[in-house]
Amino acid sequence: MRRLIWILGLIFGWSAPAVGGEFFTLEGHGGPIKGIAVSPDGESILTASFDNSVGLWRDRSPQWLEGHAAAVNVVAFVSEDIAVSAGDDFGVFVWDLETGRSQKLGEHHGKVMSLASTKRGAWVASASWDGTIRLWSLAGQASKTINVGSNVNDIAFSAEGNLLYSASSDGKIQIWDVANGQLNRLFLRNGFGVNTLVLDTQRGWLAFGAVDGVARIVDAQTAELIKDVTLERRPILAMAVSRDAQTLAIGDGEGYIMLLDATDWTIKADFRATHRGPIWALAFSPDGENIHAGGLDDEMFSWPLADAKSSPKMVEEQRGFLNGADSASNGERQFQRKCSICHSLTADSQRRAGPTLNRVMGRPAGTVEDYVYSETLTGSDIIWNAQTIDALFEMGPDVYIRGTKMPVQRIARPEDRADLIDYLRLFGETEENQ
């Protein structure tokens, strides 16, 4: 059904992806969608994905912006022609969207979770799990560092651009002076980590969502409670406000999207957007008629608010890396759960976060031609075989290959590792190992 809608859109010339009023998807990524942004003129959408890529969508056709060495968590427009992105490789990139070229502004010492820019694009802020916020000038000024002291999950500039609000894993929302990078004041303290916030200083409110499922709207000056919309769903992972500031969207770890009327904070809609899994990213179409969302699926979904409940849900098919079929062997289930989000078993790597594992047995590390490796693996002398794969999952990639961009994970049981290795053998071996 999704692909039929896509094809009909191409045949009949349906409107550009940022325009609202109809259901559509944006397909092409090779991993979950972690971030979404809509251009100021409403003509383009940017998507950030676990597949290490940024997608630039105009008329629903993607242009791939490649440069990151790991999952891209967040992307933001600075203007119609300039964007910034950041992710698990710690880097912050600025993109010329006309040429597709990028420049690396700099790096954090941990993954970057949020980006924000002032209205005129003078400053771009990046929030990281290294406990800092970096302020980057696009006008040639020196960068600044704000030491928050805890993993920073989200940030937002005030309307004037002189203050920056931060949300962190210690439960604090703090306000910082942009001019000197100093703490202005502790705004509020939540009992659990705050994951996301939306700020409207012109209308005087701030909304935030937390690990414990708390979702509240408070006064942007006094932090006095305006509305508590907390439900029995956790964690809250994403928030977005429409451009006319009339609708606030809240996405959670259980796959629901709540839509609030921002004039009186009543619930306009509350629907399950995915059969399973979280909502990681939200953004509105320019006219406020559609809500775009990203999660475990490789597609961005966009629902018209008028009939969002009846539109197709995300992750309609079981994602293998979460749940293997009952008939699958244990080796296949281990691959599905531990490997398939990043790796294919096909002849090519299929725009995934990692290279194909087809014919991996006996293959020297860092040698798949259609994949860009980190320097750690291109200079490695590892040969993938039963012994090295077993050690990789017994110790964990971060220990076995220090400096790798592979996600941190282990397979504790020796029999599970052995079954995975046997399953990989079914997909061939390199000539060197035959």
> Which SS3 state, helix, strand or coil, does residue 145 take?
strand
Residue 309 is given by DSSP the state G
pLDDT tens profile 172-190: 999 999 999 999 999 999 9
Contact 391, 383 (CB under 8 A): no
pLDDT at 353: 75
- Between helix 330-338 and helix 414-425 the angle, nearest 10°, is 90
- Tell me the C-alpha distance between 89 and 150, whole Å: 19
237: left (phi over 0), alpha (psi -120 to 50) or beta: alpha
**Res 325 pLDDT > 80:** no
**Long-range contacts of the stretch 303-312 (C-beta < 8 A, 24+):** 303/23, 303/273, 304/20, 304/21, 304/22, 304/23, 305/20, 305/247, 305/259, 305/268, 305/269, 308/257, 308/259, 308/269, 308/271, 308/273, 309/269, 309/271, 311/23, 312/1, 312/2, 312/23
Question: Which of 275-279, 324-328, 403-407, 412-416 shows the lowest mean pLDDT across its residues?
Answer: 324-328
Token pair for residue 393? 């999952």
pLDDT at 62: 94
Give CA separation, 226 vs 192, 248, 262, in Å.
20, 14, 11
Most confident of 88-97, 349-358, 380-389: 88-97
CA 187-293-87 angle, to 5 degrees, is: 65
pLDDT at 26: 96
- Tell me the C-alpha distance between 70 and 427, whole Å: 26
pLDDT at 406: 75
pLDDT at 19: 53
pLDDT at 116: 98
**Res 4 pLDDT > 60:** no
pLDDT at 18: 54
Token pair for residue 191? 């009992």
Looking at every residue in the chain, the average pLDDT score rounds to: 89
User: What is the average per-residue pLDDT within 309-332?
Assistant: 67
pLDDT at 319: 46
pLDDT tens profile 29-38: 998 999 999 9
pLDDT at 100: 96
Sign of CA dihedral 252, 257, 263, 264: negative
pLDDT tens profile 280-292: 999 999 999 999 9
CA quadruple 99, 101, 106, 110: dihedral, nearest 10: 110
Contact 125, 164 (CB under 8 A): yes
pLDDT tens profile 63-91: 999 999 889 999 999 999 999 999 999 99
Percentage above 90 pLDDT, the chain: 68
> Which SS3 state, helix, strand or coil, does residue 132 take?
strand
pLDDT bracket for residue 432 (50, 70, 90): low
Token pair for residue 73? 């968590």
Sign of CA dihedral 71, 47, 93, 198: negative
- Tell me the C-alpha distance between 301 and 45, whole Å: 12
User: Structural domains in the chain?
Assistant: 2-310 (2.130.10.10), 330-433 (1.10.760.10)
pLDDT at 324: 44
Contact 382, 395 (CB under 8 A): no
pLDDT tens profile 140-166: 889 999 999 999 999 999 999 999 999
User: What is the average per-residue pLDDT within 209-216?
Assistant: 97
Residue 308 is given by DSSP the state G
Taking the whole predicted model, whether its pTM rises above 0.85 is answered as no
- Tell me the C-alpha distance between 115 and 32, whole Å: 19
Give CA separation, 216 vs 58, 213, 325, 388, in Å.
35, 10, 39, 49
**Res 416 pLDDT > 60:** yes
